[in-house]
Structures are given as C-alpha cells and as structure tokens.
C-alpha cells in the first residue's frame, strides 16, 4: 500500500477496482442466469463503470485481501457464522416459547481490532445475527451492543465472547 502524498489522486485502475468489478460481474451473471454473450458483454461494461465509480470515490474497497488465505478465512467465517445463526435462532425460540420471559438485557461495550470500514460493517452485521446481541451504535473502535442476557459488563470479556471467533477471520479478509 503506497504511503505518500499521491494517495488522493487515484491512478488507473483505482486500487481495489478489479476485484470489485469481478464481484459485480458475478452478481450480474447470477441475476441474469444465462450464458448469452450479449448479456455478458453488457454486464461487463455496466459493472466496469460501477466499479470504477465506487473504487475511485471511496477508500472502503481498497483493503480487501484476495489471497488464498483470505479465501480460506472467508469459508471458515461463513461456517462459523451459519452455526451461530442457527444457535441464535434456537436460543431466541427458547425465550419466545418459554411460559414466562425471564431475561436480563443491557447495553455493553465491545472493542474491535478491525480497521477497515467494511470489516467493521461485517462484524456489526455478524454480531446482530449471533445469539442474543444487537448492535446499537458504533463510535471509533467501540461497538455498543444490546445483549439479551448480560453476564458481564467488562469490555475484554464481552469482546472475546462476541467478536472473538469472527474477528480473527475478518481481520485476515478485510484488515
């Protein structure tokens, strides 16, 4: 990553543009579900323009790592996430169907190591879908989380319990 005064003037192609282009093109082809060459060409042109516009105007796309390690961590993250999503739903059903709802909710802090905006967005989204937690606010590196069953208000303990397993994977993908 270049660290000089020229960073504000994006070169061509802007950093991160090619990967964004590939992702958008895959989305285009999936939405059309046809291998027709005209559709692919039009899609290539449209997604090129979109990728250029977004990559040139925002820094958010620059830090994603497209390496085999990043891919492995993406898969590991997806697996952990799906397990946690099912656990979250079962925990929620247990509360919803219990005769008397006996919960102790509260708002706690979680500190994150992630630097990039997209990484933080992914972490916040993940926490919203894992058992008993909901992101209320984000200030700098602190996430404010509504926890349905507060067991600790200590930042370190809560961070490890909620973000720990995801953070290491997301850190490898997004930085």
Partner 1 sequence: MIELIGSLFILAGAVFLFSAGLGLLRMPDAYTRIQAGTKATTLGNMLVLAGLAFYHPGWIFKLILVIYFVLMTNPVSSHALSRAAYRIRTPMTSATMADALAEDDAGGDGAPPEGSARGGPPGERTGR
Q: Which residues bind partner 1 (CB under 8 A)?
A: 27, 29-31, 33, 85-86, 88-89, 92-93, 95-97, 101, 103-109, 124-126, 128-129, 132-137, 139-140, 142, 144, 146, 148, 150, 153
Compute the least distance from the CB of residue 49 to partner 1, in Å. Answer: 20
Q: Which is nearer to partner 1, 14 or 163 (CB)?
A: 163
Q: Which is nearer to partner 1, 56 or 128 (CB)?
A: 128
Question: CA angle 55-56-61, nearest 5°?
Answer: 25
CA separation (Å) from 63 to 33, 66, 119, 133, 151?
30, 9, 9, 27, 35
Compute the least distance from the CB of residue 137 to partner 1, in Å. Answer: 6
Q: Which is nearer to partner 1, 49 or 82 (CB)?
A: 82
Please name the residues in contact with 118: beta carbons below 8 A apart, sequence gap of 6 or more.
60, 61, 63, 64, 174
Please name the residues in contact with 124: beta carbons below 8 A apart, sequence gap of 6 or more.
135, 138, 143
Compute the least distance from the CB of residue 11 to partner 1, in Å. Answer: 30
Compute the least distance from the CB of residue 135 to partner 1, in Å. Answer: 5
Residue 13: cis peptide before it, omega within 30 degrees of 0: yes
Q: Which is nearer to partner 1, 56 or 142 (CB)?
A: 142
107, 136 in Cβ contact below 8 A?
yes
E strand or H helix that includes residue 21: helix 17-32
Compute the least distance from the CB of residue 9 to partner 1, in Å. Answer: 27
Q: Which is nearer to partner 1, 1 or 101 (CB)?
A: 101
- Chain centroid to Cα 173, Å, comes to 10
């Amino acid at each position: 990553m270049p660290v000089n005064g020229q960073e504000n003037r994006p070169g061509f192609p802007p950093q991160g543009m090619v990967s964004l282009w590939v992702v958008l093109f895959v989305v285009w082809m999936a939405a059309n579900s046809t291998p027709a060459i005209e559709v692919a060409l039009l899609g290539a042109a449209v997604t090129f323009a979109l990728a250029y516009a977004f990559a040139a105007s925002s820094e958010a796309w620059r830090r994603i790592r497209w390496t085999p390690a990043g891919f492995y961590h993406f898969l590991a993250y997806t697996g952990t996430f799906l397990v946690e999503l099912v656990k979250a739903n079962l925990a929620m059903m247990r509360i919803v169907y219990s005769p008397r709802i006996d919960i102790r909710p509260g708002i706690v802090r979680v500190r994150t190591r992630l630097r990039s905006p997209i990484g933080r967005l992914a972490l916040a989204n993940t926490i919203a879908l894992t058992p008993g937690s909901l992101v209320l606010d984000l200030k700098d590196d602190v996430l404010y989380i509504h926890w349905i069953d507060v067991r600790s208000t200590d930042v370190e303990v809560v961070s490890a319990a909620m973000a720990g397993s995801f953070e290491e994977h997301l850190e490898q993908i997004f930085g």
